[in-house]
Amino acid sequence: MSERALPPVTALGMASLALILAGGIYLAAHLPRQVPLAPAVVLLIASALVLAINLVLLARVRDFAWGTFFTVGKWALLAYVITAGLIEYAFLRDGLSGGPLVVLTLSIVVYAVHVPVLIAFTVARYA
Amino acid sequence: MTDVVAEPLRTGESGREAPAGRADLQIVPTRALPAVGVVFALLVWAIAANKLWPLMFLHVAFGAAWTVVDLFLGFIIGPIMRRLPVPARIELTMNLMPKTVLLMPTLVTVTLAAGWQLGTVMGTVDSAYFHHGWIVASYIVVACMAVIALGLLSPANIAVLFELKKPHPNPAVIQKLMKRFIYAAGFTGALQLGILVIMTRIRVG
């Protein structure tokens, strides 16, 4: 089985997810106290940056099964938007508001975009 | 755990053809979608009701199922697959993997969402809780499991099904993806043992 040279999409995706999870753990570990949001914001920005780098690296790949990538990606996106919605609902149900809600909502957006990218990439690389 | 690809590809070496793929193979078993919908509706109801028993039931039942499935895949199915000839491995994969596409995300989502809400009801997610260190440890273990499941396990699950739908699936690709899937399931299963230790420690007090 010959492997094409592709960017480290999976590794970067896992790193991005680890960063937002670290931010989430930081916030959750201090509940219900108010804590400085800066560490969580820095982790979120780093995670979003890794997501952007991943998308740029992927977009530069030539001779890739983009049709398969987008077909799989849109359905995976639908599935993960539903799970993201459930998580968001739990946050709102618990009365989360203000800065922590913004940080966690944006973290969920990164999650809901990056996981479908990882699934679509893994399928398309072998298409 | 097992090394699914450690054994040589008998299909290729013996000159036999790899089994044909199944174009009718469903990536997502649509007949099971209503059941998933019911489970998610129960989850939303339990969170909205904010009552102890429904949350406890969903968290414990789905958490136990998640642990058992991970351990079963990693430590029982994995070694069995290693001993099977390639066509049998592919046949097992064709029957097993569509079920895990819906099963695993459902188990994970219900366990975590119900668990978080249960923690708010019982006060165990409060940083003043006397076992707070153990609770934070459980967050870290769950985060490790989530990264592995979302980054490795779930993509491999979907990708192997797409490969199996091809007229002539590549056994090497299937074995590579199945190795990734089984290793990831086994590793998250091992981490689940850590969660069991933490949860029982918290329960005992």
- Residue B136 has its nearest CB partner, among A29, A33, A76, at A29
Do the beta carbons of residue A7 and residue A61 sit within 8 Å?
yes
- Residue A32 has its nearest CB partner, among B126, B148, B170, at B126
Judged by CB atoms closer than 8 Å, whether chains meet at B151 and A10 is answered as yes
Q: In terms of Cα–Cα distance, which of A28, A6, A40 is closest to B136?
A: A28
Token output for A47:
């995670």
Do the beta carbons of residue A51 and residue A10 sit within 8 Å?
no
With a CB cutoff of 8 Å and minimum separation 6, the contacts of B9 are: B86, B171, B172, B175
Rounded to the nearest integer, the mean pLDDT of chain A is 91
Q: Give residue for tokens 């366990």.
A: B111
> Cα separation of B56 and B67, whole Å?
16
Judged by CB atoms closer than 8 Å, whether chains meet at A86 and B125 is answered as no
pLDDT greater at residue B78 or residue B118:
B118
> Cα separation of B17 and B13, whole Å?
10
The pLDDT value given to residue B167: 86
Question: How many Å lie between the alpha carbon of A91 and the closest alpha carbon of chain B?
Answer: 9
Q: Give residue for tokens 């013996």.
A: B14
Q: Return the percentage of chain A with pLDDT > 90, whole number.
A: 68
- Please indicate if any CB of chain A lies within 8 Å of the CB of B116: yes
- Please indicate if any CB of chain B lies within 8 Å of the CB of A100: no
Token output for A72:
């799989």
For A64-94, write each residue's pLDDT tens digit: 999 999 999 999 999 899 888 888 888 888 7
DSSP-derived letter for residue A6 is -
The pLDDT value given to residue A91: 83
Average pLDDT over residues A46-67: 95
The pLDDT value given to residue B81: 84
Token output for B69:
């499935």
> Cα separation of A11 and A16, whole Å?
9
A98 conformational bin, left if phi > 0, alpha if psi -120 to 50, beta if neither: left
Do the beta carbons of residue B84 and residue B92 sit within 8 Å?
yes
pLDDT at A36 over 70: yes
Do the beta carbons of residue B44 and residue A86 sit within 8 Å?
yes
With a CB cutoff of 8 Å and minimum separation 6, the contacts of B162 are: A68, A72, A123, A126, A127, B27
pLDDT greater at residue B151 or residue B74:
B151
With a CB cutoff of 8 Å and minimum separation 6, the contacts of B64 are: none
Selected residue of A47, A119, A121, A125 to mutate for chain B interface (largest B Cβ count, 10 A): A119
- Where is average pLDDT lowest: A98-102, B73-77, B85-89? B85-89
Q: Return the percentage of chain B with pLDDT > 70, whole number.
A: 89
Describe chain B by its helix, strand, coil percentages, rounded to 5: 80, 0, 20
Question: How many Å lie between the alpha carbon of B25 and the closest alpha carbon of chain A?
Answer: 15
- Residue B173 has its nearest CB partner, among A18, A118, A126, at A126
DSSP-derived letter for residue B32 is G
For residue A32, is the peptide bond before it cis, meaning its omega torsion is within 30 degrees of 0?
yes
Token output for A120:
């679509």
Q: Give residue for tokens 């996981």.
A: A115
Tell me the ipTM for this assembly. Answer: 0.91
The pLDDT value given to residue A24: 92
Burial-class residue A93 by CB neighbours within 10 Å (0-12, 13-18, 19+). middle
Token output for A71:
């077909």
- The DSSP secondary structure of B154-165, one letter per residue, reads HHHHHHHHHHHH
Average pLDDT over residues B145-168: 91
The pLDDT value given to residue B16: 47
